[in-house]
Structure 1
Amino acid sequence: MTHWRALIVLGTAQFLMVLDTSVMNVSISQLVEDFDTEVTAIQAVITLYSLVMAAFMLIGGRLGDIFGRRRLFLLGLVVYGIGSALTAVAPTLWVLALGWSVIEGLGAAMVLPAMAALVAESYRGRDRAVAYGVIGGLAGAGIAVGPLLGGWVTTYLTWRLVFAGEVVVVAAVLCFRRVIKESPRTGPAPRLDGVGAALAAAGLALGVLGVLQSGTWGWVQPANPPFTVLGFAPTLFVIGAGVLVLAVFLHWERRREAQGAEPLVHLPLLKKPALRSGLMCLLSQNLILLGLFFTIPLYLQVVQGFDAFQTGLRLLPVSVTMLAASVIASRLGRVAGPRRVVRGALVTLAAAIVWLLATIDPDIDDAQFAGAMALLGVGMGLLASQLGNVVQSSVGEEERSEVGGLQFTAQNLGSALGTALIGSLLIGALAHAFTTQVEDDARLSAEARQQTSTALEAGISFVPTDQVTSAAESVGLPPPEVDALTDSYASSQLDGLKAAILATGGITVASFLVTGHLPTGTAGRPKQPGTDERADAADSTG
């Protein structure tokens, strides 16, 4: 057991940070009520958390190389604990965003790349594959415990206690810091590329901001933007600016390497096929998972009217099967090969999403919904069992922190895009469906249609139908027209949810395109003493 003590401490950090996000997702309705805000505002807070992590992961990985991975891991935990404490007492939405999205996000950006590198440094060969399977399993455990624990605490006590508890867990981890070992540095410490760091963070932020605001601003025709560009919505221009800044970042990094200076990212790393495929799969995995974990709680809480604990119970099957599959399948990649396992996982996910679409009805079928959730967890668990090991095993020891930064940048960029893009598609589909149904409903008068159209120009939110009923009554519509408007909105909610879930299915299918260079496995090949997973990944890449 002594051999695995470091993994327990390092894995606890992974568990804590996944728990954090899943608690937020299951508490959306309560957060809206507590801060007197809208779903889109909580969506922005959740997206900002992932975006801060994505923007600063590369910097976190490089700081681990400069100051030491163990030292940065511990410092990051302290920062994370401070953010958790501030979140627990947040009096306003802005303080919540500061404590959770910014300070906790920065702490996570310091902890996670160092954690990935320290796991890879602490274990070799078969043990490393098991270690990354356990890390994936602990991520699954965080998703398992988060909805249930967060739901229960949110419903019967307050969500703030979860974040107060995180402070206690951080303190406990720090007490066991001596079990984490790190090899002494050989050679001079690298320097931080400040310009590259600023360009990477700005480019990622602009891109995700554009996607996040697309539901409010509109993609091409302006909906409700703060400004327009040549008469068009600013969305594509903001995204384009992000792409341009990232192109400048790549040029800057190549220039620094050509001059012999230390870049933020050694771009030749991305020429490694196994690493590139692993990173793209990680991005897709988190985009799908966080997109669904933003959408499904809205269906359960807003449409079905369940509280946070009831929502957590209905999300439990996906959490349990993800945990089980990620642990059980940790060795499967050595036999079948990561490529086959990942492709099998994507097929499983696609089937789960089709099943899930069939359950989105006004009256939920709990058995069918639980089955779809369980199958979804199996697919996610299979992915989690392979990708961390593929990414870390594709490079040498000296590149672990940098690749850890790339790994968690991909994951959190996927998380940010998942919440932003799928949330935007949900609101956009809701608005389109509601507008169409109002225009086609013969029960509504021309005056009612005009009033609804005027209200929609100011934007639309995903709210319970009783709020739509109250709004319609407040403007003096007769009861038959109030009922018609409420029915149209309820139907449009389901259309919006199905469109958002269908989009995750499209992303799942498209993800097959980036699996071609994943390792194919080493079954039947004799192993030499000391051979590690890096050799497996390099030699078996197809």
Structure 2
Amino acid sequence: MNKINSKQTFLILPLIILMMGQFGTSADNNFLAIGARAIIQSLNANISDISLANSIYSLIAASFMIAGGLLAITLGLKNTFRIGVILAATGEFILAFSPNITLFIWGGRVLVGLGASLLIPSVLGLIAAIYQKKDRAIAFGFIGTATGIAKIFGMVAGGYIIDFFGFRVAFGILGVYFLILLFMSIFIPDTSGAGKKVRFDFLGTIIASLGLFLFVIGINKISIWGLIEPIKAPFEIFGISPVLFCIGAGLVLLAILIPIEKRIEDKYGQALLPRSFYQNPAVRNGLYGCAMVFGGLGAIIISINPFFMLVAHFSAGQTGVAVLPTSIMMILFSVAIPRLFPNINRRFAVRMAYMSFIVGFLLIAGGMQENGVNVAIYFGLAFLGAAMGILTSQADSVVANSLNKKDAEQSGGIQATTRNIGEALIISILGMFLTFIQPVVYEKSVQKLDVSQTSKEYVAQTKFAFTSNDKFDQMNAQLPENDQSILKEQYIHDRLLVSRLTMLLSALISLLALFGTRHIPTTRTEGEK
């Protein structure tokens, strides 16, 4: 059996394998995002199905990743990693061979989500267990690099694979990839906790999973079910959308979880949610950084990629190339910061990352044009990549190094959960702008235009959300010809306005994140020296 080198030499092969694990789960999500059009056409699906396919992964992953962190301690980090890989491989093959969208979502996406909920906490836990002192920050930086590489492969290579060979080949390749990763896992060293008997916290797992599930499904469904007034809600509660009920019930369960976990930890010495995860201010501030990394990715998924494809008319492959600045800068900064500046002031670095987010979102807003983009958007994407690279190299390390060894190895679950919640929140907030604010702004503008009353009433009833010019023309084909050109010109103007507002809102969120940096250490902790 492989053992961790007591001399703490930097282990290259295990790091490559762990990077491959992170790469696989990230590439899967990128394939889904870039292959949406092909999946809709092949499986006779619609955009709501794709939204569900995307959100079901977040729901499963966010609901079970904290439990995955504890399970990794219970079964052993290496064993849990392997189980996650097997589930992910099975899910990818189901995605590749699904005859319909139902099996695609409830078979493939669910299994990939379950696999990720075990695999990702294991990756982060193994980093904390295998690498010590300054090597840990370097290793976490390389895990961030894997996310950036996955974005390049998923958005560029994946885009062209889907364009030329179809989405089935793309997901099939990932299935084979995970099987190769399963074989390579024999080279992961055993950790000191392997084989120890640890009590699994079933009560905490049930409460946490249900609470997170309700909370995440609530924020994910705001744009579909409606915040208060029901839109396409599956049911109503006293005439209002179930969204607020889901969010509220989820938060109540998570609040109840805290005192329960305190008692379990006092009694057994081990809990799903140790006190150190939420009472340690440095850990909390580090988790904010984890959330912001995937929040940035969420902004790209929900606002920037659709702008490239629907407004600038980029293909899947072209969109992948367009976001290359983000991936490249994320890779460079996640590796370079811990290597070149091992003694960097962590608080300063995290604050610079948030400032980079602000600059990036403002540049992207300026780069968005009525029917395309200009060069400013690519500089903005580069700033986003730099921000995510810095945070990846620092936030995970702040969390792990602010905990004792046992809790650090378990912290992969809470880190991964925070990432998913951060992404879900940003997608929900920006999605509300594109779904709700866009129709309101456009309807008010149309009321002031010199068009027929019939056209004004049609716009008020149709609720034009974010879409392409071609789709807009199809939706207005029955209106008077003179009105169509006037309505289209106003829609293009308002679409740009709302798109820029989403970027300004993203910049504001980044500004508020600066207030969550006070307790981040300015120097390396004792465990890193």
Q: TM-score range by the shorter chain?
A: over 0.9
Please give the alpha-carbon distance, in whole angstroms, between the structure 1 residues aligned to 2:195 and 2:109. Answer: 36
Query: How many matched pairs?
Result: 521
- Which among 450, 456, 461 is matched to residue 454 of structure 1? 461
Please give the alpha-carbon distance, in whole angstroms, between the structure 1 residues aligned to 2:97 and 2:117. Answer: 23
Kept in 1: contact 2:131–2:139 (CA 8 A): yes
Structure 1 residue 102: deviation in Å?
1.2
Partner Cα separation in structure 2 for residue 325 and residue 284 of structure 1: 16
Q: Deviations over 1:320-363 (max 9, x none)?
A: 11111111112356322211111011111100100000111124
Q: Name the residue aligned to 1:348.
A: 356
Q: Aligned in 2, Cα 1:256/1:360: closer, same or farther, shift over 3 Å? A: same
Indicate conservation of the 8 Å contact 1:435/1:453, yes or no.
yes
1:147 corresponds to which of 146, 152, 155: 155
8 A contact 2:90–2:108 mirrored in 1: no
Q: Which residue of 1 aligns with 2:339?
A: 331
Q: Which residue of 1 aligns with 2:178?
A: 170
State the match for 1:245 in structure 2. Answer: 253
Aligned counterpart in structure 1 of residue 218 of structure 2, from 210, 216, 221: 210
Higher mean C-alpha deviation, range 218-227 or range 100-109: 218-227
Deviations 1:120-154 (A, max 9, x none): 22222222222111111122111222211121112
* Deviation of the 1:299 alpha carbon: 0.3
Structure 1 match to 2:72: 64
Q: How big is the shift at 1:40? A: 4.3
2:516 to 514, 517, 520: 514
Query: 1:82-231 residue pairs with structure 2 within 5 A?
Result: 82-185=90-193, 189-231=197-239
8 A Cα contact 1:210 1:239, kept in partner: yes
Q: Secondary structure at the match of 1:334?
A: coil
CA distance in 2, matches of 1:178, 1:223: 51
Q: 1:302 aligns with which of 285, 298, 310?
A: 310
Could you tell me which residue of structure 1 aligns to residue 527 of structure 2?
A: 535
Q: Tell me the residue number matched to 1:43.
A: 51
Partners of 1:100 and 1:433 in 2: CA distance = 39
Instruction: Name the structure 2 match of 1:483.
Output: 485
1:325–1:378 Cα contact (<8 Å) kept: yes
Q: Is the 8 A contact 2:364 2:378 kept in 1?
A: no
CA contact (8 A) 1:140 1:320 kept: yes
Measure, in 2, the Cα distance between the counterparts of 1:266 and 1:375: 35
The answer to whether structure 1 residue 469 and structure 2 residue 473 are counterparts is: yes
- TM-score normalised by length of structure 2: 0.92
Structure 1's 94 and 461: CA in aligned 2 closer, same or farther, altered over 3 A? Answer: farther
Deviation at 1:536, TM superposition (A): 4.3
* Other structure's SS at 1:336 match: coil
Structure 2 partner of 1:528: none
1:241-293 CA-to-partner distances (Å, cap 9, x unmatched) read 21112122223223333544743211243212221111122112212321222
The question of whether the paired residues in 2 share the 8 Å contact of 1:143 and 1:319 is answered with yes
1:218 Cα deviation after fit: 3.0
C-alpha spacing 1:55/1:125, structure 2 compared with 1 (3 Å): same
SS of the residue corresponding to residue 323 of structure 2 reads helix
Cα deviation for residue 18 of structure 1 reads 1.5
CA separation of 1:419 and 1:105: change in aligned 2, threshold 3 A = same
Per mean C-alpha deviation after superposition, the further-off stretch among 19-28 and 313-322 is 19-28
Is 1:31 the counterpart of 2:23 in the alignment?
no
Structure 2 counterpart of 1:142, one-letter code: A
Deviates more, 1:21-30 or 1:344-353: 21-30
* Contact 2:274/2:407 (8 A) holds in 1: no
| Unaligned stretches of 5+ residues in structure 1 | 523-532, 538-542
Moved more, 505-514 or 87-96: 87-96
Rounded Cα–Cα distance in structure 2 between residues aligned with 1:2 and 1:161: 36
The offset of 1:294, in angstroms, is: 2.4
* 2:4 matched residue in structure 1: none
Offset at 1:69? Answer: 0.9
Comparing 390-399 with 80-89, greater Cα deviation is found at 390-399
User: Are 1:284 and 1:507, in contact at CA under 8 Å, matched by a contact in 2?
Assistant: no
- Matched residue type, 1:507: I
Which residue in the other structure is 1:525 paired with? Answer: none
- Normalization by structure 1: what TM-score? 0.90
Matches of 2:143 and 2:391 in 1, distance apart?
12
**Post-superposition CA distance 1:165-221 (Å, at most 9, x none):** 112211222222221111354895222222221211121121222222222333234
Asked if the contact 2:436/2:465 (under 8 Å) is kept, the reply is no
Distance 1:75 1:187 in 2: 16
Task: Say whether the 8 Å CA contact 2:133–2:528 is kept in structure 1.
Answer: no
Instruction: Please provide the CA RMSD for this pair.
Output: 2.3
Paired residues for 1:438-449 under 5 Å: 438-443=446-451, 445-449=452-456
Deviations 1:401-430 (A, max 9, x none): 321111111111212223333223321122
CA distance in 1, matches of 2:136, 2:262: 32
Determine what percentage of the aligned residue pairs are the same residue.
26
Output the CA distance in 2 between the equivalents of 1:35 and 1:464: 22
- The one-letter amino acid paired with 1:511 is A
